[in-house]
Amino acid sequence: MNTIDADIVDWEKKRINLQKNVSDDLLARYEKIRNRNKGVGVISVWKAVCNGCHMNIPPQLYNELQKSNELLSCPNCSRIIYFQDMEKPA
């Protein structure tokens, strides 16, 4: 029984840590975007095209997306976007 208890405690700690990493702000933003966009809040971008709304994103934003670790949003559909290189094997 002791090992099971320890496992549960361990898991609980991990869960709390995960929640700490996601701010309330971000979580609220994500939920809002997700509700507005058929349940998809985060989408990939390739060749400066948002895969959510299939619109071009400005070149400057596209550059920033590839360089920075910041969370950026598509100016058209507001989904949180990330850069994905489709030509590289996963």
Q: Which is nearer to Zn ion, 19 or 66 (CB)?
A: 66
Structural contact between residues 35 and 79, judged by C-beta atoms closer than 8 angstroms = no
Q: Which of 34, 49, 77, 83 touches Zn ion (CB under 5 A)? A: 77
Q: Which of 41, 52, 62, 80 touches Zn ion (CB under 5 A)? A: 52
Query: Is there binding between residue 74 and Zn ion (CB under 5 A)?
Result: yes
Query: Is there binding between residue 49 and Zn ion (CB under 5 A)?
Result: no
Closest CA to 37 of 24, 47, 52: 52
The 10 Å CB-count burial string (b at 16+, else e) for 52-71 is: bbeeebeeebbeebeeeeee
C-alpha 82/C-alpha 65 separation (Å) is 7
Query: Is there binding between residue 80 and Zn ion (CB under 5 A)?
Result: no
Binding mask 2-41 for Zn ion (x = CB under 5 A): ----------------------------------------
